[in-house]
Structure 1
C-alpha cells in the first residue's frame, strides 16, 4: 500500500526522527510504497523512500507548522495514500507516534490562564486535541508507561487508541566481543590516560536534558576524582553557554563537545559512565542504548526508562525532587565505586533478555492494522 510519513524536521541526531527512519525502512522492507514529507531532511533518506520537501518560509513555529500541515493535506488530495503517519502531533493523521510529553498537562502544571489566551497555546493545544481528542480516530503510538498514564489522565476517551511500543534500541548499540578492543583504540585516539574516567553525555537538548547539572556536579567532585575525570558531550545543540559555565567553574579543559555524531556506539563502548540528569525526558532511550553497550548509567527519576536502570541494577538514579548536592554525591559515588563493572555486566544481562529492539516492527504492524481497521 501507499503510506505517507510526516515529520517537521528530520535530523539523524533526534530520537523521534530516527524512529521515523527505522519505521520507514521496515515498511519498505514489507513491500509498501513510502513517501516522507518534511520541511528539512538532514542526511540521506532511507533507501526506497521518496522525500517530498515542504516549502515553508515563516520562521514563527506555529505559522510554519500550520502551513506544513495545510500543504501536506493539499498534496495528499492530489496524490492520495492509504495511511498517513505523523511523527509530530497534527490533524487528520491515521497513526501518530508521540515521543514527547503531554502539552495540556505541562500547561496545567506550569502556566497561568493568560498563556491559554495566546495563539501559541491555541495552535499546540489544537494539534494535541486533533490526535487525542474525542473526535479523533488516530491510532496513537506511545513510548513508555509513564507517558501513557499522563495522556490517559488528560484524554481518557483516547485510551483505547493508545498502543505502547517496546523501546527502540538499534542493534549497533549492542556490545560485541570486539567492544573492548574498540574501547582501547578509541580512548588512545582521544588521548585518554589509563587512570582517567570518562563521562559520556548523549543529548539533543542540553538545557532540558541537564548538561548544566552535570557540569556543576563535575566541579564539585573531590579533588582526587576531579583530576581524573573527563566529559565527552555528543549532540548537536549549541555549546556556548555550557563552555562558559565550565570555564567559570574551572573544568572547561576537561570537556570536549563532539557535536552530532553517527558513531555513538564507539563513544558508549569507550566511556566509563553515561550521565543523563534530565529535567524531563519522556523516554530517555539513551539509557537503554548505554545498557545494551554494557555502559553503567547515572540518571534522574524524571527519565522515562530510569526504572529499568534500577530494575537491572545497572547504575544509580537520582530521586525526585532533584537536589544538586545529592546528585553531586551520586556522581562521586558512581566514579569511586568498584561496582561499575558489575553494573555494566548487569546491564548487558538485562538488555539481552528484554525486547528492546523491535519498535519499528511493532509500529509497522499497527500501521498495517490501521488500514485494515479503516477499511
Structure 2
C-alpha cells in the first residue's frame, strides 16, 4: 500500500507527538519501529518532541517544542503543560493529514494510549497505599494535571480514534471515560520476530551466564524494565525468598533496568539473604542476549498496558509470569506459555517460580511462548496502522 493523499500527488503527512526519547522506553521503541515502516510505505513523517537525542538514524523530520517552564514552580506538571501547549500549536500550524499523540494532548486526531489510562493506574496504585498516601497522590499537581488532560483529550471534538495496545486498555477506556466503541481500536505493539527468537539461546545462554557468574544449570528468571515499584521488583525479591522447592531456592533473578531507588531494592535482597541470587545489571542495550540466557520472564506489574519486553521475551520462547493488570495477560494461557498472578500475591508468585524452576518445565513451554506472539510481526503492525489512517483521512 502506497500512502498518498486524495490528490494522489502528495504523500500522506503524519505527525507523531512524544515528549522525549528514552532508548529503553517501550513507547519509543514502538515509534521507531512504526515510523520506519511507514516511511518505507511512502508516508511523510514529522515527530513533534521536546528532545529526541540519542535515537537511531531516521528518515523523518523533527519539530522541537521545548518552551521555558519553571522547574521550581510547577515541576512535572509545568513541564508537561508547556509541552502540550507548544505541541498543540505545532499540530494546528502543520496542516497534517493525521496527528497521532503518544501523550495526553487535547486536539489530536488519534491518541495512542501506550501508557494506558491514568485514572486506572491511580486506582491500581492505591491498592496497598495508606489512606493518607492515596489522598496525597490524588491531590498532587502532576496527577491532577494528567487526569484533566486525559479527560479533556478524550472529550475533544478533534479526537476520532484511540489506539489501545491491549484489550485491557480498551475496557478501561470504556469504564473510566465511556469512550464510544467506534473510536476504540485495538492495535497491539509489534515485535521484531527476526531479531527476537528462540535461537538466541544457542548463541547467548552460556556466554551471558559466564559473564554474570551464573552456573549453566541454575534456573534464571529475567526482569526487564524501569519503575521497579510499579512493575513488581519488591514482590519478586520477596517471592524468591519464599520459594520452597530445591530448584526455586537455587534460582537467580536478573533485574535489567534503572530506578532511582535502586539501593533500596539491593538492601531488600541483601536482608533476605539473596545478594548472590538477585543480580542488578542496570540498563542494557543488548537485552536480546539476556533473553537468550534466561529460562523465564517475570513481570508481576501493578499496571502495564502492553510491555514490549514481555512480547520480546515470548518471541524468544520464554514463558512469562505476569499479572492480570498487565496487557500481555490476555495472551497468556495458564501453564502453557506462562502464568498470571495478582501483582501483590507474593505467596502465589513464589509457587509459580517454583513451578517454572522445575527441570524441563520452562523448556517445554518455549514453543507455545513463541507461537503466542507470532501474529505480532512489524509488517502486521504497519498494515493495521495504515488501514486506520486510510479510514480516517
TM over 0.5: yes
Cα distance change on mapping 1:55 and 1:164 into 2, 3 Å: same
Correspondent of 1:85 among 100, 117, 121? 100
Correspondent of 1:307 among 308, 330, 339? 330
| Match in the other structure for 2:289 | 266
Cα distance change on mapping 1:184 and 1:131 into 2, 3 Å: same
| Match in the other structure for 1:244 | 267
Q: How do residues 353-364 of structure 1 correspond to structure 2 at under 5 angstroms?
A: 354-357=375-378, 358-364=380-386
- Tell me, yes or no, if structure 1 residue 62 matches structure 2 residue 77: yes
Shift of 1:368: 4.1
Correspondent of 2:311 among 285, 288, 295? 288
1:267-291: CA deviation from partner (whole Å, max 9, x where unpaired): 1111111111112222234333212
CA distance in 2, matches of 1:17, 1:339: 34
| Match in the other structure for 1:102 | 117
- Tell me, yes or no, if structure 1 residue 48 matches structure 2 residue 59: yes
Instruction: Check conservation: 1:287, 1:309, Cα contact below 8 A.
Output: no
TM-score by length of 2: 0.84
| Match in the other structure for 2:5 | none
CA distance in 1, matches of 2:310, 2:189: 10
Cα distance change on mapping 1:243 and 1:72 into 2, 3 Å: same
CA distance in 2, matches of 1:132, 1:247: 46
Instruction: Check conservation: 1:23, 1:361, Cα contact below 8 A.
Output: no
Which structure 2 segments of 5+ residues have no match? Answer: 1-11
Cα distance change on mapping 1:172 and 1:187 into 2, 3 Å: farther
Give runs of ≥4 in structure 1 deviating > 4 Å.
76-79, 105-119
TM-score by length of 1: 0.88
Q: Alignment partner of 2:235: what SS?
A: helix
Shift of 1:46: 4.5
Correspondent of 1:234 among 256, 269, 290? 256
CA distance in 1, matches of 2:200, 2:187: 31
Q: Which shifted more, 191-200 or 357-366?
A: 357-366
CA distance in 1, matches of 2:224, 2:143: 30
| Match in the other structure for 2:41 | 30
| Match in the other structure for 2:4 | none
Cα distance change on mapping 1:347 and 1:117 into 2, 3 Å: closer
Shift of 1:326: 2.0
Shift of 1:181: 3.0
1:47-97: CA deviation from partner (whole Å, max 9, x where unpaired): 112233322443311111111122223344554433221111111101111
CA distance in 2, matches of 1:113, 1:254: 37
CA distance in 1, matches of 2:270, 2:113: 38
Instruction: Check conservation: 2:91, 2:99, Cα contact below 8 A.
Output: no
| Match in the other structure for 2:8 | none
Instruction: Check conservation: 1:23, 1:364, Cα contact below 8 A.
Output: no
1:286-341: CA deviation from partner (whole Å, max 9, x where unpaired): 333212101122222222222322168112222x4842122222212221253221
Correspondent of 2:169 among 114, 123, 147? 147
CA distance in 2, matches of 1:196, 1:117: 47
Q: How do residues 133-212 of structure 1 correspond to structure 2 at under 5 angstroms?
A: 133=155, 135-175=157-197, 177=199, 179-212=201-234
Instruction: Check conservation: 1:92, 1:130, Cα contact below 8 A.
Output: no
Instruction: Check conservation: 1:84, 1:94, Cα contact below 8 A.
Output: yes
